[in-house]
């Protein structure tokens, strides 16, 4: 069982936690993220990264940071789960890649980069995964309009006479 | 000297004979990307049996087909593929847009979904429905046959006359309205009002949405 005191002792008092039902969230400052995740993998046996996603808190009341990035971990021996959350801010949101720790981070980090534009430093192949390569925006950001900026109309028109 | 026609011989125009043969032996290319594809399969299966109308030979190579059936939504990553398939099909060829999504984008009015394939490839027959029932698709096929019989020529010269796109223009009036809606409106009450404390959020970029003119 992961105790908050162990994280406080080893890393920083800035780490906080919250629970919702049986769901534990550990909120870690951005600069301590990689050491904390490495500690969870190597010493606490959280050997599976099941989720990696992000939230845009633009226009949220009481929000102090723009993006939250959430890592969902499982210890496959004990079945324990923990969510690690951190916050990043514009103009260049960046986080260290956790690809060296869990291979499953490969496509998950590519998806977060594609949708939110959060760059994962150290990722071996950070390309878009869902949108076409020539797409320039990050569509799940809250300041991007739902109907796009005309990208869906940016194709050549083939008439019957010329095909 | 008047010579009567012998038995089993009749006279017709070459255009009509070609159209008759073509319309009763359509080879569909199923471009099925969504649930319309399931109805398309049901149409080809025994209960509805599209082979009654001579269109049962579904080929998955565009080089062997003359009727493109676009069944389902087409996203902007898939549209270049669709255009390439259309260009690979040999003449004469026709296109059927099946279902609300292929015709107009349907409920998927988002940044990634093409709002109707007729904006970018020529379409002959539209099939409404979400998804259309197999009977509707069969009715559309019969309509397609009637259109070929009505307009078809042996050399396909009727195709050369269609020099304008089938669909609406790139940014029609509807699209302009949508852009206006996407812009933030002053004083509009939303379900979650934006933050009013600029001090707490000054490090968050809240740059305005720029709309293409």
Reported ipTM: the value is 0.83
**Residue-wise pLDDT tens digits, B129-181:** 999 999 999 999 999 999 999 998 888 888 888 888 888 776 656 666 666 65
Q: Which of A59, A131, A155 sits opposite B195 (nearest CB)?
A: A59
Average pLDDT over residues A14-42: 90
Q: Which residues of B15-50 are buried (b: 16+ CB within 10 A; e: fewer)?
A: beebbeebbeebbbbbbbbbebbebbebbbeeebeb
Retrieve residue A109's tokens: 């980090």
The SS3 of residue B160 is: helix
- Does the distance separating the beta carbons of B120 and A149 come in below 8 Å? no
Helices B134-151 + B36-44 axis angle, to 10: 80
Q: Does A127 touch chain B (CB under 8 A)?
A: no
Distance from CA of A53 to the nearest CA of B (A): 20
Tell me the whole-structure pTM to 2 decimals: 0.81
pLDDT at B205 over 50: no
Contact between B87 and A158 using a beta-carbon 8 Å cutoff: yes
Asked if the Cβ–Cβ distance from B192 to A64 is below 8 Å, we say no
Mean pLDDT over the full length of chain B: 82
Distance from CA of A46 to the nearest CA of B (A): 33
Q: What is the pLDDT of residues B99-133, one digit of tens each?
A: 999 999 889 988 899 988 998 999 999 999 999 99
CB A85 within 8 A of CB A70: yes
The edge-to-edge listing of strands for the beta sheet with A67-74 is A16-20, A23-27, A81-88, A67-74, A48-56
Distance in angstroms (rounded) separating the CA atoms of residues B104 and A22: 45
CA distance B102 to chain A (A): 14
Q: What is the pLDDT of residue A144?
A: 82
Report CB contact under 8 Å: B192, A59. yes
Interchain proximity B201–A64, CB inside 8 Å: yes
Q: Is A61 an 8 Å CB contact of chain B?
A: yes
Distance of CA B207 to the CA centre of its chain: 38
């Amino acid at each position: 069982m992961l105790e908050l005191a162990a994280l406080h002792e080893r890393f920083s008092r800035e780490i906080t936690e919250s629970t919702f039902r049986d769901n534990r969230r550990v909120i870690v400052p951005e600069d301590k993220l990689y050491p904390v995740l490495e500690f969870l993998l190597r010493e606490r046996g959280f050997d599976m990264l099941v989720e990696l996603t992000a939230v845009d808190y633009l226009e949220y009341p009481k929000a102090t940071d723009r993006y939250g990035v959430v890592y969902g971990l499982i210890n496959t021996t004990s079945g324990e789960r923990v969510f690690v959350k951190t916050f990043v801010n514009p103009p260049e949101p960046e986080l260290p890649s956790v690809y060296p720790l869990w291979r499953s981070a490969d496509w998950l980090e590519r998806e977060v980069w594609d949708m939110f534009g959060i760059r994962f430093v150290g990722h071996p192949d950070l390309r878009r995964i869902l949108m076409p390569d020539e797409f320039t925006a990050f569509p799940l950001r809250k300041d991007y309009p739902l109907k796009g900026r005309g990208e869906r109309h940016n194709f050549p028109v083939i008439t019957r006479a010329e095909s | 000297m008047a010579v009567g026609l012998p038995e089993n011989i009749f006279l017709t125009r070459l255009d009509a004979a070609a159209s008759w043969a073509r319309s009763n032996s359509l080879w569909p290319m199923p471009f099925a990307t969504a649930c319309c594809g399931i109805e398309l399969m049901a149409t080809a299966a025994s209960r509805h049996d599209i082979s009654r109308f001579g269109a049962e030979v579904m080929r998955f190579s565009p080089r062997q087909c003359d009727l493109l059936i676009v069944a389902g939504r087409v996203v902007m990553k898939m549209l270049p593929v669709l255009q390439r398939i259309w260009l690979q099909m040999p003449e004469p060829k026709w296109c059927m847009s099946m279902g609300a999504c292929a015709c107009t984008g349907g409920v998927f009015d988002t940044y990634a979904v093409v709002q109707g394939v007729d904006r970018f490839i020529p379409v002959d027959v539209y099939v409404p429905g979400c998804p259309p029932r197999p009977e509707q698709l069969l009715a559309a096929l019969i309509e397609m046959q009637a259109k070929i019989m009505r307009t078809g020529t042996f050399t396909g010269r009727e195709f050369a006359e269609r020099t304008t796109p089938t669909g609406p223009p790139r940014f029609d009036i509807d699209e302009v309205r949508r852009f206006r809606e996407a812009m933030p409106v002053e004083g509009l009450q939303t379900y979650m009002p934006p933050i009013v404390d600029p001090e707490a959020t000054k490090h968050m970029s809240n740059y305005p949405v720029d709309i293409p003119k």
